[in-house]
Structure formats: C-alpha cells, structure tokens
C-alpha cells in the first residue's frame, strides 16, 4: 500500500509540475507521445531480444539480465504515468540497459545467500522425505515374565 501511495504521489507531482511548466494541452500531448513511443520501443526491443536469443548472440549472463531489464522496461511502459513510462523507456534503450546490468547483477548477488540457504533447506527436507519416517530413540530388550503367585493367608 505504501509503494502504491509513493507511486501515486510521484506521478501526480510530475504531471502537476509539467502542467504548470508547459500547460495542460502540451502535457496531454507529452503523455500520449511517451506512451506511443514506449509501446513501439517495447515491441521492437522484445523482437530484437528474441532474435538475439534465437541466434545465440547473447551470452548466458547477458541474456538473463537483458531479459529481466527488457521485461521490467515493458511493464513500466504499460503502467500508466509519466515517470514510470520514462523509466521504462530508459530501460528499453540498449545503452541504458548496459549501464543498468551491473546494478541488477549486484542486487541479484546480494540476495543469492538467501536463495542458496532456502534451496539447501528444501533439498534436506526432500532427502528426509524420501527415506521415510525417522524416529530417534533407543531399543530396550524386554523379556516377559509370568508373575509368581503369592502365598495365600489362611483366614
């Protein structure tokens, strides 16, 4: 909810600032132009990226980060608002993606220990499930003895 509120305030502030600077009509034109440009660029970059993946021109690491950045840029272009569309446009441009790639890689490496620990715990759980139930205990050998009869008292 906080993230949505921040998004709303930033987008509203950007539109209000643009309206006060260039006017309402030009602001509407700028919003429409960035949206159309974003849709066109998103489509062309997705096609270009898919061609690069099919021909094998992309390295595995570059392909993963570029795919993530193209996907994020496309989502940002389709989210309404001037700031998100501009951020999406920047992520769709190849030079900007090259600059953002180390940042994305650093963020992924920072989260890697959490993923590794979770994966290791899941692997241990799967191994113990495959072996069946395991009960830790000790075995005590019991020999059944019939009890002696007690002598009767003559009463």
- Whether 63 is in a domain gets the answer yes
pLDDT tens per residue, range 15-72: 999 999 999 999 999 888 888 888 888 888 888 878 877 777 666 667 777 888 888 8
pLDDT at residue number 138: 78
What is the per-residue pLDDT for 42?
Answer: 84
CA dist list (Å): 83 to 30, 34, 69, 86, 142: 12, 10, 17, 5, 78
Best CA proximity match to 80, nearest among 31, 42, 40: 31
Containing structural domain, residue 33: 2-127
Structure tokens at 25: 């009509």
| Residue 79 predicted with pLDDT over 90 | no
Inside any domain, residue 14? yes
Q: Answer yes or no: is pLDDT of 128 > 90.
A: no
Does 41 map to a domain?
Answer: yes
- Report if residue 39 sits inside a domain: yes
Q: Which two tokens stand for residue 75?
A: 């989502």
Please indicate, yes or no, if residue 146 is contained in any of the structural domains: no
Q: For residue 56, what is the DSSP state?
A: T
The two structure tokens encoding residue 14: 């950007």
User: For the chain, what is the domain count?
Assistant: 1
Q: Is residue 153 part of a domain?
A: no
Q: Is residue 59 part of a domain?
A: yes
The verdict on residue 132 lying in a domain is no
Structural element, H or E, at residue 126: helix 94-131
């Amino acid at each position: 909810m906080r993230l949505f509120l921040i998004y709303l305030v930033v987008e509203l502030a950007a539109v209000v600032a643009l309206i006060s600077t260039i006017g309402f009509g030009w602001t509407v034109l700028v919003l429409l132009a960035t949206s159309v440009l974003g849709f066109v660029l998103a489509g062309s970059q997705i096609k270009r990226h898919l061609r690069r993946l099919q021909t094998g021109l992309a390295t595995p690491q570059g392909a993963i980060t570029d795919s993530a950045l193209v996907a994020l840029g496309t989502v940002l272009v389709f989210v309404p608002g001037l700031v998100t569309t501009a951020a999406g446009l920047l992520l769709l441009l190849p030079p900007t993606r090259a600059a953002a790639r180390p940042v994305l890689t650093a963020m992924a490496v920072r989260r890697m220990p959490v993923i590794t620990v979770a994966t290791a715990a899941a692997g241990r759980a799967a191994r113990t499930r495959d072996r069946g139930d395991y009960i830790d205990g000790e075995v005590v050998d019991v020999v059944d003895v019939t009890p002696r009869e007690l002598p009767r008292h003559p009463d």
